[in-house]
Amino acid sequence: MRGCAFTGHRQIRPAHESLIEELLLRGVRYAYDRGCRDFFSGGALGFDTVAARAVLALRSEHSDVRLNLILPCCDQDEKWGYAARCEYQKILRLADSVEYASESYTKYCMHKRNRRLVELADMIIAYYDLSGSGGTAYTVEFAKKAGREVHNLFPNLEKSAK
């Protein structure tokens, strides 16, 4: 396998917050065991941030793990709160590579970023509530049409949260 990318919602459901990090870490370990060494995160708030932290945790166990950020634009964190910006800057510093879909924000930069994530990976780990709209829905469908292996954590989190 070439690599593993992540796509998911910016809002993590409160019932999932205590469970998602462990389940995601199991997911990245599964990808690693399948041969993935390059992991690609879109750098957004929510799921992308949790995914980047999971990859960094795996990298502390396996030095051949690479965290690659595929970001929509250089200033995506411009309107974020202080704590989110600090965490984002830390993840940027710890990343092995950073690629931007666009120099500055455009109405297409998120779309370009999402397509690029799918292009770079054989496996996608998602946090998708099956609502059928938005960037996560588009990315999951694009990945399936491209023949990528998609693992959605949302249904397992729903079962575990009950």
For 7-60, the pLDDT digits (tens) are 999 999 999 999 999 999 999 999 999 999 999 999 999 999 999 999 999 999
Distances (CA, A) of 56 to 24, 63, 81, 105: 12, 10, 22, 27
- Lookup result for tokens 């690479």: 66
Whole domain around residue 124: which residue ranges? Answer: 3-161
If you count them, how many residues does the chain have? Answer: 162
For 66-125, the pLDDT digits (tens) are 999 999 999 999 999 999 999 999 999 999 999 999 999 999 999 999 999 999 999 999
- Which helix (H) or strand (E) is 4 found in, with range? strand 3-8
Q: What is the pLDDT of residue 133?
A: 81
CATH number (domain holding residue 106)? 3.40.50.450
Output the pTM of the full model: 0.95
Assess contact for 1 and 124: CB atoms under 8 A.
no
Residue 34, amino acid:
R
Task: Single out the residue of 26, 31, 25 nearest to residue 3, CA to CA.
Answer: 31
User: How many domains does one find in the chain?
Assistant: 1
